[in-house]
């Protein structure tokens, strides 16, 4: 079975992990700082805090944004449910706004229409690695007095108007799950343009602990003394995983290039094919493609999915609209709220895309797909 996504691990990755395993630090050591510094090279110098997953990154970012009961979050429904679920768990009300029909990214006009006096955060999702329209979304958040958050789980290495993802929003979250462009096995990070929010994120991922004597309420307790100044969680990403992340980030240019080459081959083979639409790409975007999402027309998506899977091609669907999940249905959300998102979901299919996919593998994918559709 060819998967739709897969990690790329080489000997240098293995050696980096083994060096940590043979050293003195397994967690909260020098590789954490090294990973965060390497990641900041890809965010245009915006500093980052590493955490244990992309979901933990969303939680940390929303806490750093001060999100809580009574607040509203405007976001896209075409995302893994964690983007909205964390806001719901924090007591905020999630307002789903529709997407652009071609890119599947949050539509700035729809986001603007969804904002109210209670809107605290607007969260864009860089679907498939294609950046959202951040200039237009910034106008929305400025008008609403809200913060702009980027869920860039798909988009590390992507650029918008020649600016790197990670520098475009007030807070940006990343995921390093194995199918993502860069992996730490499990892991995530938050990039913050405001030092206060960066500090809030750093404290939250470590129980809210403070050790700096100048910041302690009772500084004369003793050299061992530390204080919890705000409540937090243990979202610390271990040194052993950060070592993997450092090496993976150094391979990111090669990962981007191979994904771009594979996407170009798909474009050439599938562009103009009746019954299928290839991914849109706006002039302002330089995507680091995480997914290659096609749209199967004519109500044939389920047929194509089943036949491709039966042929050993691990296509995937990304994603069921978040408010279709029973947890949101039970809160009163109903189908039909975001017709563009629902129409996109009804046709969407992710074809295999990862650096280890060979040209021969891709030719097999294309042969099976073309045999079904032509």
205 and 309 co-located in one domain: no
- Tell me, yes or no, whether 4 lies in a domain: no
Q: Is 120 a catalytic residue?
A: no
Whole-number percent of the chain with pLDDT over 90: 98
Domain of 336 in residue numbering reads as 252-373
Last residue of a domain, one of 197, 227, 248: 248
26 and 162 co-located in one domain: yes
From residue 18, give the alpha-carbon distance in Å to each of 238, 239, 242: 13, 11, 12
- Tell me, yes or no, whether 317 lies in a domain: yes
Q: How far apart are CA 296 and CA 348, in angstroms?
A: 6
CATH of the domain at 345: 3.90.1150.10
pTM recorded for the entire structure:
0.97
Look at residue 213 in the predicted model and tell me its pLDDT. 87
262 and 369 co-located in one domain: yes
Confidence of residue 252 (pLDDT cuts 50, 70, 90): very high
What digits encode the pLDDT tens for the residues 13-33? 999 999 999 999 999 999 999
313 φ/ψ angles, rounded to the nearest 5 degrees: -110, 110
Mean per-residue pLDDT of the chain: 97
Look at residue 137 in the predicted model and tell me its pLDDT. 98
Q: How many domains does the chain have?
A: 2
Query: Would the pLDDT of 341 be above 90?
Result: yes
Look at residue 344 in the predicted model and tell me its pLDDT. 98
347 and 331 co-located in one domain: yes
Look at residue 223 in the predicted model and tell me its pLDDT. 87
From residue 210, give the alpha-carbon distance in Å to each of 102, 198, 225: 47, 14, 9
Query: Would the pLDDT of 321 be above 90?
Result: yes
Beta pairing partners, 19? none
343 φ/ψ angles, rounded to the nearest 5 degrees: -65, -40
Last residue of a domain, one of 201, 230, 248: 248
What digits encode the pLDDT tens for the residues 282-316? 999 999 999 999 999 999 999 999 999 999 999 99
Look at residue 347 in the predicted model and tell me its pLDDT. 98
Q: How far apart are CA 342 and CA 347, in angstroms?
A: 9
176 and 276 co-located in one domain: no
Look at residue 167 in the predicted model and tell me its pLDDT. 98
Look at residue 285 in the predicted model and tell me its pLDDT. 98
Looking at 112, 130, 159, 180, which residue is catalytic? 180
243 and 268 co-located in one domain: no
CB 154 within 8 A of CB 172: no
345 and 289 co-located in one domain: yes
Look at residue 30 in the predicted model and tell me its pLDDT. 97
Last residue of a domain, one of 215, 248, 281: 248
């Amino acid at each position: 079975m060819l998967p739709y996504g897969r990690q790329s691990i080489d000997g240098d990755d293995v050696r980096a992990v083994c060096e940590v395993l043979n050293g003195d630090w397994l967690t909260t050591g020098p590789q954490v700082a090294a990973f965060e510094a390497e990641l900041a090279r890809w965010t245009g110098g915006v500093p980052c805090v590493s955490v244990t997953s992309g979901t933990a990154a969303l939680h940390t970012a929303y806490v750093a944004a001060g999100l809580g009961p009574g607040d509203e979050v405007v976001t896209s429904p075409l995302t893994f449910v964690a983007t909205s679920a964390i806001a719901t768990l924090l007591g905020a009300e999630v307002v789903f706004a529709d997407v652009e029909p071609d890119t599947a990214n949050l539509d700035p006009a729809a986001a603007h229409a969804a904002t109210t006096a209670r809107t605290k955060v607007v969260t864009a999702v860089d679907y498939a690695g294609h950046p959202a329209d951040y200039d237009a979304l910034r106008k929305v958040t400025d008008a609403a007095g809200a913060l702009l958050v980027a869920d860039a789980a798909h988009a590390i290495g992507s650029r918008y108007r020649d600016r790197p993802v990670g520098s475009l929003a007030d807070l940006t979250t990343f995921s390093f799950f194995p199918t993502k462009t860069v992996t730490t096995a499990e892991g995530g990070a938050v990039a913050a343009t405001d030092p206060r929010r960066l500090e809030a994120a750093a404290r939250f991922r470590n129980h809210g602990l403070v050790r700096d004597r100048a910041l302690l309420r009772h500084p004369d307790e003793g050299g061992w003394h530390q204080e919890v100044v705000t409540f937090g969680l243990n979202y610390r990403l271990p040194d052993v995983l950060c070592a993997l992340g450092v090496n993976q980030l150094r391979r990111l240019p090669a990962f981007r290039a191979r994904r771009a080459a594979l996407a170009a081959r798909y474009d050439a083979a599938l562009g103009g094919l009746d019954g299928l639409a290839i991914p849109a790409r706006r002039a302002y975007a330089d995507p680091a493609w995480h997914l290659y999402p096609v749209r199967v027309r004519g109500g044939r998506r389920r047929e194509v999915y089943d036949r491709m899977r039966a042929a050993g091609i691990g296509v995937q669907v990304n994603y069921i609209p978040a408010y279709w999940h029973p947890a949101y249905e039970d809160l009163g959300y109903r189908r039909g709220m975001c017709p563009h998102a629902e129409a996109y979901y009804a046709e969407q299919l992710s074809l295999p895309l990862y650096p280890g996919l060979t040209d021969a593998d891709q030719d097999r994918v294309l042969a099976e797909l073309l045999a079904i559709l032509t």
